[in-house]
Structure 1
Amino acid sequence: MLASGLCFVAVTGIVRYLGTDLPTAQSAFIRFAFGGVFLLPALIPILRGGFAPGALRLFGLRGFVHACAVVCWFYAMARIPVAEVTAIGYLNPVLVTLGAALFFGEALAFRRLAAIGVAVAGALIVLRPGVREVTDGHLAQIAAAFFFAGSYLIAKRLSERAGAGAVVAMMSFAVTLVLLPFALWVWVPVTPVQLGWLALVAAFATLAHYCMTRAFRAAPLTVTQPVTFLQLVWATALGALVFGEGVDGFVLLGGGVIIAAISYITWREARVKRRAVTPNPAETKG
């Protein structure tokens, strides 16, 4: 998780460095096109093998939703501080929890509702509406959080019809196709240096997801989830040292509140699952 967090911060830093020289849709398209090249060896056998009934429609829907999320994220990243993008992004798992209850009928007990309320309070601490200006960059990142949550919920449904490798590879392929017409519409000349940076973004993003998958296999979520808070610390340091952005204590506080809520939800779910699979001591006596 430490390596995953560092890779995600590297992605954030590079996109921030590239700024607004390239249109948002074009930058996002080039990033995912490179990602598609990296995943091509896995994608070819998946396409040859075919799909379960209804899976192709879900792949297309996820590609559209994830493309919207990526465009909003790229837009926000070029316009607001790195730490604020990272802190608001922590809302993703909270929105996934809420969406799972609304669309999949998962239980939403009072404690989980309370944790979601705490996470929303953390987001308000970061944004501080009425105290300072909430810009279009902030609104774009909030929209990105909702779209990313929608993408993850569709991925959960897809996991019942396709393997994890197919879900990841098809997402990259579908997002590239969705972004292509928008990128062509706003296309401007790209320098070799910009292409190199966007290739690096794709490489770091792929490596981040790989490291995260390895972490989930090696340890329970109750161990790995709190480590994600370090990503906000590193993002704040990157913004301050590289881009001259001030260290905002409210952003750190709000991000910490959101992470605390996420960690609590994760811990509670782990305890519930443990109770479900652990037999009563009396049941083990024969």
Structure 2
Amino acid sequence: MFVAKAHNPPLAAVLITAASALLAGTTLLAKALGTDTLGPALHPMQISHGRFLFAFIVIVTAVGVMRPRLQRPHWGLHAGRTSFGWVGITLMFASVAFIPIADATAISFLNPVFAMVLAIPLLKEGVGPWRWLAAAVALAGALILLRPTPDSFQPAALLALTAAAVIGMELIFIKKLSGREIPIQILLINNAMGLTIASVAVSFVFQMPTSEQWAALAGIGALMACAQACFVNGMARADASFVAPISYATLIFAAFYDFAIFGVIPDGISMIGSAIILTGGLILVWREARARQA
């Protein structure tokens, strides 16, 4: 499930599309849990705890079935990756309770931009004019989604923006880990450490979920684990330049779920801001593809 696969772009497209639908589903359930849709609203730290708990159960089951050969882990990198990942996903779950899922999802696409900027001092990577252009375009789209006017400013959107920056830092740790350890080991340790952190944090805010909320928490963890599996397998079957634009389908699924379940219709500002962020992301993908060819 997590080993090298034959080059198969059509199957990769199906897997990445499935991953996008599953990831958007996690934000849908997080919004339902963060509001009073399924009962008294749960704290974002309790939602992220459910995400790690049930994802860990799924991944441990997969490890038990597959029995991969595990390596000696780099605990420092895992601790950094997990800490930033837990903070980022908690902030993301907090934001979707207050703003449209599509807006939060669009802002989350700034992750690669923040990772690119952070890679300059942390990984000593060079950044050319095209990368800076992509970053500027994407950030401009985020500013539009923030609606920076006294009457329409959405403070909760800053949660999503901060989440994108924090997860951008997580990507730096993932990049450092990816050349050292196999993907399923990274996922296993990440979810084990994340569950430990989340279990301590949730003890301060825990409230007994309803049966529907327990089901939604389990759904978030299972969807996240399945999305990661689809994404890893999709990346193994096609070039990153082919896969990355397809992952933006997450925004389409998020907008559809928000409309179908909560009746939220994206307004003009949301559509313009999202389109600009996607444009910045596509410029970055195009530039990376050109760089690899060169």
One-letter code aligned to 1:138: A
Match of 2:233 among 189, 214, 233: 214
Alignment of 1:255-270 (within 5 A): 255-270=274-289
Match of 2:179 among 160, 171, 194: 160
CA distance in 2, matches of 1:204, 1:145: 20
1:4 maps to 19
2:81 maps to 62
CA distance in 1, matches of 2:62, 2:222: 16
| TM-score between both structures, scaled by the size of structure 2 | 0.86
Is the contact between residue 90 and residue 255 of structure 1 (CA under 8 Å) also seen in structure 2? no
2:29 maps to 14
2:115 maps to 96
Mark the CA change 1:228 to 1:158 in structure 2 (over 3 Å): closer, same or farther.
Answer: closer
3-state SS of paired residue (1:71): helix
3-state SS of paired residue (1:189): coil
CA distance in 1, matches of 2:178, 2:244: 21
CA distance in 1, matches of 2:265, 2:234: 32
2:138 maps to 119
3-state SS of paired residue (2:42): coil
Mark the CA change 1:104 to 1:25 in structure 2 (over 3 Å): closer, same or farther.
Answer: same
Cα deviation digits, residues 50-95 of structure 1 (max 9, x gap): 625xx11221122211111111111111111111111111111111
Match of 1:26 among 46, 55, 73: 46
CA distance in 1, matches of 2:188, 2:234: 20
3-state SS of paired residue (1:185): coil
Unaligned runs of 5+ in 1: 276-286
CA distance in 2, matches of 1:77, 1:237: 14
| Greater than 6 Å deviation, 4+ residue runs | 44-48
3-state SS of paired residue (1:87): helix
Cα deviation digits, residues 95-124 of structure 1 (max 9, x gap): 111112231111101111111111111111
3-state SS of paired residue (2:203): helix
Is the contact between residue 59 and residue 225 of structure 2 (CA under 8 Å) also seen in structure 1? no
Q: How many residues align?
A: 273
CA distance in 2, matches of 1:9, 1:135: 21
Cα deviation digits, residues 249-275 of structure 1 (max 9, x gap): 221222121122212212211222222
Mark the CA change 1:244 to 1:193 in structure 2 (over 3 Å): closer, same or farther.
Answer: same
2:57 maps to 37
Unaligned runs of 5+ in 2: 1-15, 36-40
2:105 maps to 86
Match of 2:90 among 61, 71, 74: 71
Higher fraction of helix? 1
CA distance in 2, matches of 1:135, 1:254: 14
Q: Indicate the percent of aligned positions where both proteins have the same amino acid.
A: 26
| Structure with max Cα Rg | 1
